[in-house]
RNA sequence: UCCCCAGUAGCUCAGUUGGUCAGAGCAUCCGACUGUUAAUCGGAGGGUCGUAGGUUCAAGUCCUACCUGGGGAGCCA
């Protein structure tokens, strides 16, 4: 870690001084060979780049990574990144001396450094502060073959180097917005009296659909990675009223599209006494809240991503609603050959969404197109009380929700119709035997939501380390 | 699983009807430059053209198979 070199002049004494200062800054014990050298550095504050403008005209120490180096004979520049922002270190040869000047020449892309100098504004580049360097410690060297360049790269190459790609300013902006969305989710539900419930990731087979990841589980046979926490969420709603889950979800389908991951994060609220109407109202309030929170607090990051903020500012409840039958009629008018009873395909969703600049609800699908647990529509028993919320700008289905079937006999009949193993649902059916209750909930795909807010076309870019069919590393 | 597309230098790509086709830009290394912002200028190194067969006097180039990946469909969030 403490990997620094002397300049060509062999400035050993100066080097030991600098080394001492670095160890002091890092707050770790000095090696004994430097113990005779002491220097009080308490007057030089160690700051993050985002805080630099509070220290203009004063000496500071910044610990950061070098993103770019430029040299011009007698003056040289190193751009610095520390995760909070960027700054520019300026080396003027006649000011820094030969030894430090020589050490500058050792800086390469992604060298980690501790740089001390005066913070000051740079009239030539408003917004990026300069550090007039008086001292430089190389903490970790970086070979000259660092793979990520400030040039175009293919997506495959970038994902192979995801551990480096995350260092770029664009990726930082995405992760900051993702974090803002996650925090907003917790705030939204906390303020409304929801209880967060963490549901199991290892489950017995309860979906019985293909696309489950299996793993050995002691003497119990196979366990499966959770595809949803919903069934557990329903049990929790009967216990606590209003709950939500927030966790990873796994789908082993061999999906190869920009909207799919094998591991993604899903938020699943479940609310006692909500019907389908209240469910949709909660969804649109929720989505509006998330989008407006990002607009309010993350303008710089949206700008970094060149996102059209005006499109996000328009995202206000209520959202347009189409019942399934009207949606089918609409897409047929636009040339689709989808018939009543079919599920809506990706092309159909695009046809529906193109007329709106807000997310669009499509509600009450045919029973056959949806899951067994959705409540039969009393006004049209061919359909169930459910909704999909489609994101604008072609980002696809962001939410799937429904009122749950609370009638024991109807639920049993649906499980039989689907050919599902009744014994797997014994505890789930108990929820209808012991104090059944009207309830509804939905699942929001975090990555799809963040991709839409960021305007990133592929969701693999909005999760730090995506898991896809052909990608298990890094 | 199905349909479409692509594999040429570290990266992004060009390479015409088969015949100086082993190329460019960037990156790297060396040199020049006192304020650069993807700096600029000069020079250098770097490739079994995805793999294996085949056609031909001659194959990145045409044919076949395979491998790998991408995009889309389905499934869904």
The nucleotide lying nearest A125 (C-alpha to C1') is B37
- What average pLDDT does range A252-277 have in this prediction? 92
pTM of the model: 0.87
Before A318, cis peptide (omega within 30)?
Answer: yes
The answer to whether the C-beta of A396 is closer than 7 A to strand B is: yes
Q: Report the protein residue whose CA lies nearest the C1' of nucleotide B32.
A: A73
Query: With 80 as the cut, is the pLDDT of residue A432 above it?
Result: yes
| Range in A8-17, A29-38, A105-114, A205-214 with the lowest mean pLDDT | A8-17
- Distance in Å from B56's C1' to A223's CA comes to 59
Q: Tell me what percent of the residues of chain A surpass a pLDDT of 70.
A: 90
Residue pair A279/A272 in contact (Cβ under 8 Å)? The answer is no
Residue pair A3/A108 in contact (Cβ under 8 Å)? The answer is no
* A281-319 pLDDT tens trace: 999 999 999 999 999 999 999 998 889 999 999 999 899
Q: Is the reported ipTM for this assembly greater than 0.85? A: no
C-alpha to C-alpha distance for A67 and A108, rounded to whole angstroms: 8
C-alpha to C-alpha distance for A260 and A379, rounded to whole angstroms: 35
| H helix count then E strand count, chain A | 14, 16
C-alpha to C-alpha distance for A208 and A33, rounded to whole angstroms: 66
Residue pair A389/A360 in contact (Cβ under 8 Å)? The answer is yes
The answer to whether the C-beta of A269 is closer than 7 A to strand B is: no
Query: With 80 as the cut, is the pLDDT of residue A260 above it?
Result: yes
Q: What is the pLDDT of residue A8?
A: 25
Q: Which two tokens stand for residue A224?
A: 């499966």
Rounding to the nearest 10 degrees, give the CA dihedral for residues A184, A189, A193, A194.
Answer: -140
- Provide the mean pLDDT of chain A: 86
- Distance in Å from B74's C1' to A210's CA comes to 13
The answer to whether the C-beta of A267 is closer than 7 A to strand B is: no
Confidence of residue A200 (pLDDT cuts 50, 70, 90): very high
């Amino acid at each position: 870690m403490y990997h620094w070199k002397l300049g060509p002049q062999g400035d050993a004494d100066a080097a030991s001084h600098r080394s001492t200062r670095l160890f002091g800054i890092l707050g770790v014990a000095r090696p004994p060979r430097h113990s005779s050298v002491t220097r009080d550095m308490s007057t030089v504050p160690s700051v993050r780049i985002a805080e630099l403008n509070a220290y203009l005209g004063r000496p500071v120490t910044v610990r950061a990574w070098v993103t770019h180096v430029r040299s011009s004979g007698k003056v040289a520049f190193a751009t610095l990144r520390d995760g909070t922002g960027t700054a520019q270190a300026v080396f003027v040869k006649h000011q820094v001396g030969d030894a430090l000047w020589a050490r500058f020449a050792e800086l390469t892309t992604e060298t980690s450094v501790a740089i001390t100098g005066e913070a000051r504004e740079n009239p030539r580049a408003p917004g990026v502060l300069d550090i007039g360097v008086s001292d430089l410690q190389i903490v970790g060297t970086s070979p000259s073959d660092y793979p990520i360049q400030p040039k175009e790269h293919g997506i495959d190459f970038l994902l192979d180097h995801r551990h480096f790609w995350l260092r770029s300013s664009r990726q930082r902006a995405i992760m900051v917005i993702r974090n803002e969305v996650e925090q907003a989710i917790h705030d939204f539900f906390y303020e409304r009296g929801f209880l967060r419930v963490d549901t199991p990731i290892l489950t017995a087979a309860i979906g019985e659909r293909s696309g489950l990841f299996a793993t050995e589980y002691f003497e119990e046979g196979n366990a499966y990675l959770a595809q949803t926490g919903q069934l557990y969420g329903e049990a929790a709603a009967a216990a606590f009223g209003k709950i939500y889950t927030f966790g990873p979800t796994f789908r082993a389908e061999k999906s190869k599209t920009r909207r799919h991951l094998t591991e993604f994060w899903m938020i699943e609220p479940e609310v006692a006494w909500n019907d389908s109407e209240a469910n949709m109202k909660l969804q649109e309030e929720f989505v509006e809240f998330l989008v407006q929170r990002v607009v309010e607090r993350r303008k710089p990051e949206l700008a970094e991503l060149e996102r059209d903020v005006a499109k996000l500012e328009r995202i206000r409840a209520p959202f347009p609603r189409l019942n399934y039958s009207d949606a089918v009629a609409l897409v047929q008018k636009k040339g689709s050959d989808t018939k009543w009873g079919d599920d809506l395909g990706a092309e159909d969703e695009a046809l529906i969404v193109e007329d709106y600049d807000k997310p669009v609800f499509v509600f009450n699908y045919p029973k056959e197109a949806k899951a067994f647990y959705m409540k039969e529509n009393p006004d049209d028993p061919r359909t169930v009380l459910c909704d999909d919320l489609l994101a604008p700008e072609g980002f696809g289905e962001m939410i799937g929700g429904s009122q749950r079937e609370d009638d024991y006999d109807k639920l049993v009949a649906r499980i039989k119709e689907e050919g599902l193993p009744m014994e797997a649902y014994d505890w789930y059916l108990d929820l209808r035997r012991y104090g059944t209750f009207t309830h509804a909930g939905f699942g929001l795909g975090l990555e799809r939501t963040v991709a839409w807010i960021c305007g990133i076309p592929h969701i693999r870019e909005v999760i730090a380390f995506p898991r896809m069919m052909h990608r298990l590393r890094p």
